[in-house]
A and B are shown apart, each in its own frame.
Chain A
Amino acid sequence: EVQLVESGGGLVQPGGSLRLSCAASGFTFSSYAMSWLRQAPGRGLEWVSSLTGPGDGTMYADSVKGRFTISRDNSKNTLFLQLSSLRAEDTAVYSCARRYGSSHYYFDYWGQGTLVTVSS
């Protein structure tokens, strides 16, 4: 059974940093591109960043480019998102998701998410 479990969320001050983790199990992690998405309170889904299976290709939403860094450790079946220079508008539930197939970026499995709150 595919499982994705996020951790690392919490309360952080504006300008602060946080590192999120996504522990994957039930599939060959290194064979799949992975992504982070978020949902702000009362808002819809927003794509944040994606990373290829080998970890050699990244994409970022303009809203987080230069502030967030996606990475992975395939030996530990774990995806990461380093959040820096955080702003109030980054407050959201952050979820990791697995890309379905090998050509396009849509997502067949998602985690339940970890809440990041940016506030002083």
Chain B
Amino acid sequence: EIVMTQSPATLSVSPGDRVTLSCRASQSISNNLAWYQKKPGQAPRFLIYSASTRATGIPARFSGSGSGTEFTLTISSLQSEDFAVYYCQQYDRWPLTFGGGTKVEIK
């Protein structure tokens, strides 16, 4: 099983800040990585696939990068609606696995 590790677990930031979230795979997954945003009581929101391709309707302030085992999700200027938990997911091989999440909270 591919283990996905996200860091940090929690990030305390202010609106307007640039935010960088990390996701590491225990073995190479090429660029087979997706990112999701999750708010309490809501369905996850699909943000990024193929490590760097934004899903339909996702604002340009969200960007993804990386390949192999190291990946990042960057939010260029954090908006109030961006405070949430972010998860990465590898789909290179079964079983599909998620990182433990990074909570982006208000400082």
Contacts and interface: CB of A to CB of B under 8 A. Distances in A.
Interface in B24-73: 32, 34, 36, 38, 41-44, 46, 49, 55
Contact of B97 (A47, A97, A100, A111): A47
Interface of B: 32, 34, 36, 38, 41-44, 46, 49, 55, 87, 89, 91, 94-101
A92 B36 CA distance: 19
Q: Which 9 A-B pairs have the closest CB atoms?
A: A106-B34, A110-B43, A47-B96, A45-B98, A104-B91, A108-B46, A44-B100, A44-B101, A105-B91
A62 interface: yes
Interface residues of A, number: 22
A46 to B, nearest CB: 7
Interface of A: 4, 44-47, 50, 59, 61-62, 95, 97, 100, 104-113
B87 A45 contact: yes
Contacts of B43: 4, 95, 109-113
B56 to A, nearest CB: 8
Nearest to B87: A45
A59 B95 CA distance: 8
Nearest to A93: B41
B73 to A, nearest CB: 14
A44 B94 contact: no
Contact of A61 (B55, B95, B99, B100): B95
Contacts of B94: 59
A47 B95 CA distance: 8
A118 B56 CA distance: 37
